[in-house]
Structure 1
Amino acid sequence: MKLRLFPQETAGLDLLSQMARQIVLATGTLSEILGAPAGEHSRLVDDMHNHEAKSADLHVALLTHMRTSFVNPLPREDMYTLSRFLNEAIEKLDAAAELVALYKLDRLPRRAAEQLEIISRQAELTVTAMQQLNNLDDLEDYWIEILRLAKRAEKTHRVWVADMLNEMKSAQYARHRDIANQLVDVTKDMRRIATQVGSIIVKES
């Protein structure tokens, strides 16, 4: 492992961790939306928009920090990539919430809850991982676990789509498929984050 100068510089890592925390919070809000009657969707979607806006603010704050800080714990391009993937993940969660409201869906299959459980776990692990990026020896298990969860999410998505094809009419299928695609894409973004961390581990070893 390379010797790092000024390892106490963690402001950028704190911002990345806060972005991951917004995904945890957004997952909780989307879970509320899936369990709420259509009349409550508007309020909860506003909450989701707030999570997305907070993530965007943190993304901008990180870019500003990287431009103005002489010392960063990681190469700027790595920190930017991680921040971009985190922001894109929450944008997709926000889109899923908005689609539930626009389509006036009162209930989604249990596969949706399974995907949200996976996303929440991925995000929780990522909150901690982002804080540990200046100590890469501790992150190999994170990398492996996120990849395992992503594979589970892909399988859940395939089963969900197959179930919808068998049980739903075409218009209903199209609406639910839109949401299913958004959720599995979130898990892919979380996988991209872990893959980027893996790349950092390899480069810095």
Structure 2
Amino acid sequence: MKLRFFRHETAGLDSLVLMAGQVLAGTQTLAELLGARRGDFPALAETMRQHEGTATAQFSTLLTTMRTSFINPLPREDLYALGRLLHETSEILTGAAEFIELYTLERIPARGADQLEIVSRQAELTVAAMKALNDLDSLEDYWLEILRLAKRADHTHRVLVAELLENHSPASFAKYRGVADQFAAASTKMRAVATQVGSIIVKES
């Protein structure tokens, strides 16, 4: 009975780990998409929608857990905020895939791949952080590293937009910027997750 109670207590954290894992999986699928032939775009975009669907299902599980658990491992508002941010990140990454699919955008600029690499690293760190939410003292370095990566992502986005404006027609610029903006938004959401974790660290210290 004690073991069953412990599992019940950590169910919300388990959902967050799985949601963060879908964000990471989404960045990996997007990396495939950036190097794919246009004939492979629909299948890879569908895989992205599946990642998002799994994240949505886990968010629903998280909400159910918060409603039915007498005691949660963290305050309900913090669990909800983390789940919402991770779910929104999955939605944003799916949006990037659909931009590429709908506009058949081949040859994404190298800086776009750099943006995605940063988001992927943020997601990797976030998976580890979600696994460590029951040991908040270990998460201060995570918070700081995500913020550092977010600043790097912001700079990369600004340079990429300037390069796109210089090298593309207005119509082409709008299409490629759409993808760049999605990557930038995903990085911003990952920063928001880290900021929420920072808030939890302060409140629980």
Q: Match of 2:70, SS?
A: coil
> Map of 1:41-190 to 2, 5 A cutoff?
41-190=41-190
Any idea what the Cα deviations from partners look like across 1:55-91, whole Å, max 9, x if unmatched? 0000000000111111211000000000000000010
Distance in 2 of aligned mates of 1:105 and 1:116: 15
Aligned-residue identity in percent: 56
- Residue 146 (structure 1) shift: 0.3
- Which AA in structure 1 matches 2:61? A
Distance in 2 of aligned mates of 1:181 and 1:106: 17
Unaligned runs of at least 5 residues, structure 2: none
Q: Which residue of 2 aligns with 1:201?
A: 201
- Residue 48 (structure 1) shift: 0.6
- Residue 33 (structure 1) shift: 0.9
- Which AA in structure 2 matches 1:37? R
Distance in 2 of aligned mates of 1:7 and 1:142: 26
Distance in 1 of aligned mates of 2:148 and 2:6: 30
Q: Which residue of 2 aligns with 1:29?
A: 29
Distance in 2 of aligned mates of 1:108 and 1:203: 42
Q: How many residues align?
A: 200
TM-score (norm 1): 0.95
Q: Which residue of 1 aligns with 2:20?
A: 20
Q: Match of 1:116, SS?
A: helix
Distance in 2 of aligned mates of 1:124 and 1:32: 17
- Residue 7 (structure 1) shift: 7.8
1:19/1:55 contact within 8 Å kept: yes
- Residue 101 (structure 1) shift: 0.6
Q: Match of 1:106, SS?
A: coil
Supply the RMSD in Å over aligned alpha carbons. 1.2
- Residue 109 (structure 1) shift: 0.3
Q: Which residue of 2 aligns with 1:191?
A: 191
Distance in 2 of aligned mates of 1:100 and 1:191: 24
- Which AA in structure 2 matches 1:119? V
Distance in 2 of aligned mates of 1:142 and 1:7: 26
Distance in 2 of aligned mates of 1:132 and 1:72: 15
Q: Give the 4+ runs in structure 1 shifted more than 4 A.
A: none
1:7/1:73 contact within 8 Å kept: no
Q: Match of 1:139, SS?
A: helix
- Residue 128 (structure 1) shift: 1.1
Distance in 2 of aligned mates of 1:134 and 1:26: 25
Any idea what the Cα deviations from partners look like across 1:123-174, whole Å, max 9, x if unmatched? 1111111111121100100000000000000000001001101111110000
Distance in 2 of aligned mates of 1:135 and 1:104: 45
